[in-house]
A and B are shown apart, each in its own frame.
Chain A
């Protein structure tokens, strides 16, 4: 069969999501953010919420998310995305509201806002990209940085005596009454991406059905911050991140 016969519109099985704009993303090659952006775009379109979705982008690498996904966006001050999302959802209950935050934004600077929004059971979804580092500012230590991991601000490796222990904020959130769905996923393989898509869809549906807050943590790579190739970063994540940040659902009360 000739290749031209195959490349016909009716045979198309996968293409860039329509909601993802043509503008090139500023993320480094191989960054996990791109995959999550694609998933969000796909799910919003599948739910038919193109005109009714409001995302709240944080300060961090995803600060320009509003350029890439063609939905409504609101930019929040550093870490304050859940507080802004709370207001949007309360004023506009028919909107699908989610925040998109990194580990520096959610687990460090915005810990108070995040914990309290989740504890209040606001009907929002929090997408938490955990790459164990402050990516945008040049790879400084984050609360989620693993023990012994070298970053720009802990060049000899994270030491418990000096820097404390890595923060498992997702486990914390699972203990809060207000959360209905807390899960930890990743996007390094096709299988993992499919699972993450299901998790995100479930979280978005929960928020529309008024079941409470959902937190979807996505264990990600920051290959330039970790100073590795994208492939190597994926491998490093599997070997070092997954034993500490174990994948799977931590809490799911939606079926009860």
Chain B
């Protein structure tokens, strides 16, 4: 079966750092920043395990603010 590769793009300024995407990701691809904050002062979500993402969209579905865009492509 062809492997799926995914990528997530977080709208940093919209993110409120609620951590729900981090909990929802089955592969621990996302994590909140520990030092950096956005303009509102929140630690935002970022992709930490880029290669692991399969583009399952779990993180984006649970995001209450619709900050995450997910891309998915078949690995050739």
The answer on A and B forming one complex is: yes
Shortest CB-to-CB span from B23 to chain A, Å, is 5
* Cβ contacts under 8 Å, B5 to chain A: 1, 6
CA–CA, A194 and B24, complex, Å: 14
A29 touches B18 (CB 8 A): yes
Chain B residue at minimum C-beta to C-beta distance from A20: B66
Interface size, chain B (Cβ < 8 Å): 34
* Cβ contacts under 8 Å, B71 to chain A: 6-8, 11-13
A14 touches B20 (CB 8 A): no
Query: Chain B 10-25 against A: per-residue CB contact (8 Å), 1 yes, 0 no?
Result: 0101101111100110
A16 touches B18 (CB 8 A): no
CA–CA, A15 and B10, complex, Å: 10
Chain B residue at minimum C-beta to C-beta distance from A9: B71
CA–CA, A27 and B67, complex, Å: 14
Chain B residue at minimum C-beta to C-beta distance from A193: B61
CA–CA, A4 and B54, complex, Å: 15
Is A189 close to B, CB under 8 A?
yes
Contact of A231 among B23, B65, B66 (CB under 8 A): B23
Chain A, interface size: which category? 20 to 34
Query: Chain A 1-32 against B: per-residue CB contact (8 Å), 1 yes, 0 no?
Result: 10101111001111111001000110111111
Is A251 close to B, CB under 8 A?
no
* Cβ contacts under 8 Å, B13 to chain A: 24
CA–CA, A20 and B60, complex, Å: 14
A30 touches B69 (CB 8 A): no
* Cβ contacts under 8 Å, A60 to chain B: none
Tell me the A residues contacting B by CB distance below 8 Å.
1, 3, 5-8, 11-17, 20, 24-25, 27-35, 38, 189-190, 193-194, 229-231, 234
Extra A-B contacts (13), CB below 8 Å, given A3-B7, A231-B23 = A1-B5, A1-B75, A5-B73, A7-B71, A16-B67, A20-B66, A25-B64, A27-B64, A30-B18, A30-B19, A34-B64, A35-B63, A234-B20
> Would you give 21 A-B contacts (Cβ < 8 Å), ordered by A?
A3-B50, A6-B6, A6-B55, A8-B71, A13-B6, A13-B55, A16-B66, A16-B67, A17-B66, A24-B14, A30-B64, A31-B64, A34-B64, A35-B63, A189-B24, A189-B62, A190-B24, A190-B61, A193-B61, A231-B19, A234-B20
Tell me the B residues contacting A by CB distance below 8 Å.
5-7, 9, 11, 13-14, 16-20, 23-24, 42, 50, 55, 57-58, 60-73, 75
